[in-house]
Amino acid sequence: MKKLSVLFAAVMMVVSVGMAKAQKIATLDVIGVLNAMPEKKKADTDLKAFLDTKQAEIKKKADAGQAKVKQYTEEAPKKTADENKAREAELAKMQEEIQQMNDKAQKDFVAKQDAAYEPIEKKLNDAVSKVAKANGYDYIMDANSAAFVFKGGPDATAAVKKELGVQ
């Protein structure tokens, strides 16, 4: 029994020493920092312009297709079966082209977005690492995360923004 109480006391000392050296945890408003970065604002503007251009091209092609559908529908009773069949094939081809344009635009947008955001993410991650090391943080957690468990530690958002030179 005496050995058990000595073991219990030793375990309690180890646990209390471990708790005394608590890990430093900070939170960071990642979205707020990203939205304050001029590089992100420029990337967002460029991506919106790219997307608007692609959507306009697709709309133009779709509008032309709709005009042909209307025209062919009105003229169908006056045309032969072979002519109507050829027109249906033409419309199907046009619809396929529109779908291909849409698919290509989506792939191009994702590639452009990845290329635009990669250096921004690297810059943010470098700043977070520098702030964490400078302030002795063991962890910096995203304050916007749905899986966020703890939000009582110091907030590193201001320090990261300062490191990036943004407000």
Q: What is the pLDDT of residue 92?
A: 93
Q: What is the pLDDT of residue 21?
A: 54
> Do the Cβ atoms of 156 and 132 come closer than 8 Å?
yes
Beta carbons within 8 Å of 79's beta carbon, 6+ residues apart: 87
> Do the Cβ atoms of 128 and 28 come closer than 8 Å?
yes
Q: What is the pLDDT of residue 11?
A: 47
Beta carbons within 8 Å of 141's beta carbon, 6+ residues apart: 25, 26, 27, 28, 148, 149, 150, 151, 153
Q: What is the pLDDT of residue 142?
A: 84
Q: What is the pLDDT of residue 16?
A: 45
Q: What is the pLDDT of residue 106?
A: 96
DSSP state of 79: S
Evaluate the CA torsion angle 124, 130, 132, 134 in order and state its sign.
Answer: negative
The token pair that represents 140 in the structure block: 């910096």
Q: What is the pLDDT of residue 143?
A: 83
- pLDDT tens across the length of the chain (167 residues): 455 444 444 444 444 444 445 678 888 888 999 999 999 999 999 999 999 999 999 999 999 999 999 998 898 898 888 998 999 999 999 999 999 999 999 999 999 999 999 999 999 989 988 988 898 888 888 888 755 444 456 788 888 889 899 88
Rounded to two decimals, the pTM is 0.70
Closest C-alpha to 91, from 72, 114, 77, 75? 72
Beta bridge partners, 155, equal 27
The DSSP line for 33-100 is HHHH-HHHHHHHHHHHHHHHHHHHHHHHHHHHHHHHHHHHHHHGGGS-HHHHHHHHHHHHHHHHHHHH
Beta bridge partners, 140, equal 26
